Amino acid sequence: MSDFINPNDSFLQQVISAIEEHLDDESFGVAELADKVNMSRSNLLRRVKASAGISVSALIRQVRLQQAKDLLQDNSLTVSEVAFKVGFSSTSYFIRCYREAYGYTPGEEGKQQVETSEASNPEDQTSSRSSYLWPSLTALVTITALIFFWLQKENNQPLTYDKSIAVLPFTNDSENQENAYLVNGLMSTVLDHLQKIEDLSVRSRTTVEQYRTSAKAIPEIAKELEVSYVVEGSGQRLGDQILLNISLIDAQNDRQIWSQRYQRELDDIFELQKEVATSIAQATQAIITADERARIEQTPTENTIAYDYYLQGLDRLNEETKEGLLAGIDLFELAIKEDPSFANPYAYIAVAYYYLDLFQLDKQYGEDINTYADKAILLNSELAEGLLAKAMYYMQAEQPLLAVEYFEKVLRHYPNSAWTHNQLALVYMISIPDSKKYLEHAIRGLRYTVAEQDSSARSITYLTLANALAQNGFLAEAEPYLQKSLDYNADNPYSELLGVFVTLGQTMDFAAAQTHLLELYQRDTMRLDVIQEIAKIYCHQEDYVQAWYYYEKFSRLRTELGLDMFGDQDIKIAFVLLQLGEEERAQVFLDRYKAFTEANTSIYSDLLWAAYYSVLNETEKGIAHLRAFTKQSGYQYWVVMMLEDERPMNNLAVHPDYIDIVNQLRDNFWKEHAALKKNLQAEDLI
């Protein structure tokens, strides 16, 4: 139980018992323990330090790890199951702590027992070895453990967090809350400078924002964020001066290792930001390359009034509302008026316009996005925000190849940007369909967010990887990732939907899928994605009356909401209407689908045309396009799963070459699947 503590110390035994009572409660920390043993936090910290020689948070961790060791020796639970039982929500963090405590990973616990047994009973070596032929490997097929081992292999050294850091939101000490934007801007810029240093692993602004009003202690926050260092700061504006207090804390020892109080003129704000970031990096012994130092030392503008407007604009953008976007644009325009050569506000105006247009059927700001992005790049060709804005323009302009070019340029400046990798994953899922590249960037996106504590971001990242695996035919392997997605956000609206089709792909039970989809629909009758999936299931079952019921609702909602989405569904709607004898109404959707297909330059272009000509009963043209599609690679598993029974393909299915073409598509897919599987296994990813 707790054999690392003196059994005669009744106080410590009382504390340990309280910890063990709440072992599976990940939120049970120092404050909760103090309440449980009826002590003030400060008294508890002092008593534990005096009795055990360690901090309270370290004691809690040791108790958890000792219990984990006992459970792992029993060999009946997986590593992830043990982690959750002892209060670790992150398997990767559990593995790290376990390795630090015992010198080997939890997956090797069984092996350690075998080696101990062999050393003491050499005559039993053969039987002992045969009973431990890597049973724990299957227990490690969870997402965080997989990524942990992948990183070890890629770097050829144990994964450490020695240079991981979180910059907590700075506190505004001024009585005038209108000056909060300045303090927020200082924090964001310091964080941004640190993110330019590849040798540092820096948690994102959105991740640390949740701790703005948190009462949690630094060690608790560091544990949740899985970082070794935490930066705290507070500041205020006094007339034309800035007062700033900064501290760097070694979170593992809860010890301040660097602090500084600054009092500078507003005109010196840029030097202040550079000095703070550089001092923090030096205190962590991070390596700063010459290029990184040059980027940090760039001064965005000499005009402090323009910069002040710019910081106000960023503060409004971070509200993530339409009103905030519009207000931000106005403030950025004021910054440009003060300094027309200031690149940053141009870039953020483009970004703001992009988000105003996102998912709107009638795009209003395409030229504005392009103009402002170009201006930002013209003024500063290496400004990451400008490159990102240009990538966004090309995404809206439906030129994904050019968008990829600019996303890749962003990664040169922010190589650890999980957001950018996730954007590239989406590009390769939707705009330039390529299942292999989708999976590659989904994995890299996870690599850089796996230690982040933003539950929503984690949930989306796990969902992205699950979807990428499913698209490549790894359905069983996708399931634990889907569960992780739901663990971090039970309200994620897409994870359960994907789960329906992961299950369907393994069981081909359409009735069960239909039941589950209808349950999702009852929870939210406005979900276009669910409605069109229900319609497709009814279409597959040749219940065209019910299919049209849901397709009609889908079409009406799509129009009312002004959304330019799911253009590929129009051929299915047309097909359903034709089965119901509604030729005139079907023609409307056929025309829309034809326009959609003419604009489509993806690998699926020939497949889209094949469906079109099938519905028109122009079989030879349809077969020609379907045969041309066999020359493509990187298409999704769902294509080969459904193609043979896809109802809009009915007219092609009677062609004597149809089954041969479908079988060729299947063969091509599974050959690629086998090669990809070999690579993933070599990387310990499946």
Best CA proximity match to 473, nearest among 525, 444, 435, 517 = 435
Q: What is the pLDDT of residue 553?
A: 93
Pair (116, 245) in one structural domain = no
Q: What's the CATH number where 130 sits?
A: 1.10.10.60
Pair (576, 443) in one structural domain = yes
| Cα 512 → chain centroid | 30
Structure tokens at 388: 């990102």
Helix, strand or coil, per DSSP, at residue 360 = coil
Pair (589, 458) in one structural domain = yes
Q: Of 393, 415, 437, which residue constitutes the final position of a domain?
A: 415
Q: Rg of the chain's alpha carbons, rounded to an integer?
A: 29
Q: What's the CATH number where 335 sits?
A: 1.25.40.10
Q: What is the pLDDT of residue 132?
A: 23
Q: What is the pLDDT of residue 348?
A: 94
Q: Of 415, 439, 472, which residue constitutes the final position of a domain?
A: 415
Q: What is the pLDDT of residue 183?
A: 82
Residue 178's identity, in one-letter code, is E
Pair (555, 614) in one structural domain = yes
Structural domain contains residue 2? no
Q: Of 241, 267, 299, which residue constitutes the final position of a domain?
A: 299
Best CA proximity match to 458, nearest among 436, 424, 490 = 490
Q: What is the pLDDT of residue 621?
A: 96
> How many helices, marked H, and strands, marked E, lie in the chain?
35, 6
Tokens 């020689």 belong to residue: 53
Structural domain contains residue 152? no
Pair (77, 135) in one structural domain = yes
Structural domain contains residue 159? no
477-509 core/surface letters (b: 16 or more CB in 10 A; e: else) = bbbbbbbbbbbbbeebebbbbbbbbbbbbeeee
CA distances to 180, 181, 529 from 216, in Å: 22, 24, 39
Q: What is the pLDDT of residue 585?
A: 94
- At residue 324's C-alpha, the angle toward residues 320 and 329, to 5°, is 120
- Predicted model pTM: 0.51
Structural domain contains residue 148? no
Sign of torsion over alpha carbons 251, 256, 262, 268: negative
Pair (294, 364) in one structural domain = no
Domain containing 312 equals: 306-415
Structural domain contains residue 153? no
Structural domain contains residue 5? no
Structural domain contains residue 570? yes
Q: What is the pLDDT of residue 53?
A: 72
Domain tally for the chain? 4
Q: What's the CATH number where 218 sits?
A: 3.40.50.10610
Structural domain contains residue 494? yes
Contact between residue 521 and residue 504 where contact means Cβ atoms under 8 Å apart:
no
- In the chain (686 residues long), the average pLDDT of successive 10-residue segments reads 52 86 79 81 73 76 86 76 77 66 71 45 32 24 28 34 79 76 83 82 78 84 85 86 89 85 86 88 86 84 90 85 91 95 94 84 88 94 89 89 89 73 79 76 63 61 84 88 84 85 88 92 88 93 94 89 81 95 95 92 91 95 95 87 84 91 91 82 60
Structure tokens at 212: 């703005």
Report residue 12: phi and psi, to 5°. Answer: -65, -35
Q: What is the pLDDT of residue 449?
A: 53
Pair (510, 651) in one structural domain = yes
Best CA proximity match to 450, nearest among 85, 79, 92, 26 = 92
Pair (341, 470) in one structural domain = no
Q: What is the pLDDT of residue 341?
A: 96
Pair (510, 551) in one structural domain = yes
Pair (295, 311) in one structural domain = no
Pair (496, 604) in one structural domain = yes
Pair (469, 593) in one structural domain = yes
